[in-house]
Amino acid sequence: MKRTKSPAAVPCGKTAPHLDGIELLIRKLLVQLGEDPRREGLRDTPRRVAQSFAFLTEGYSQSVEQIVEGAVFSEKYDEMVIVKDIDFYSLCEHHLLPFFGHVHVAYLPDGRLIGLSKIPRIVEVFSRRLQLQERMTVQIAECLQDILQPKGVAVVVDAQHLCISMRGIEKQHARTVTSEMLGAFRNQTRTRAEFLSLIGLSAARTAGG
């Protein structure tokens, strides 16, 4: 069965968030929570929160093309390339609470390599948005597939969600692991197993892909 592409990313080049508007909303939120935004401890909070949200969602205004900036080059190397333990922070789009952890990325080149530092930068583009972990996992994998046209791409995301830890079921140690496997990583069991072994996981711990 043909797989459908993940929902398209919000178009790059979106204008920066309107800080004054966010500040006003936060001020109103504080009032609705029963607080006085004029008191000393909260006087500057609306502006700080607005600036914080602008930073945490700056991925909307970033372009993958600009980040890669010609850092894709021809090379005959054809063994697995892995960049693992990439730290990330994102915001769950359901509760606007953080989720964070590590991203592990691998690809099997087919005549094209990408500068290693660009892979964490690509992770940042998609993590600094209002996100679902599952969607972010797919977006990172499909982005690298589109850029490099390799023999395969694998992405595993291991994260802790504060909407699970701080509210609701309140399980502080629960972690969510998602994966997206394309090409050889999906079709070849040994290739997939090698990648999971090298990042310290087993097939039983991954989901998706």
Catalytically active residues are 92-95, 133, 161, 163
Of 132, 145, 129, 134, nearest to 186 by C-alpha is 145
Give SS3 for 60. Answer: helix
Instruction: Name residue 161's beta-bridge partners.
Output: 99
Rounded (5°) CA angle 206-162-91: 85
Written as six digits, the tokens of 206 are 């991954």
Helix ranges, the chain (H): 19-32, 45-56, 64-68, 118-127, 133-148, 162-165, 184-187, 189-198
Written as six digits, the tokens of 103 are 């991203």
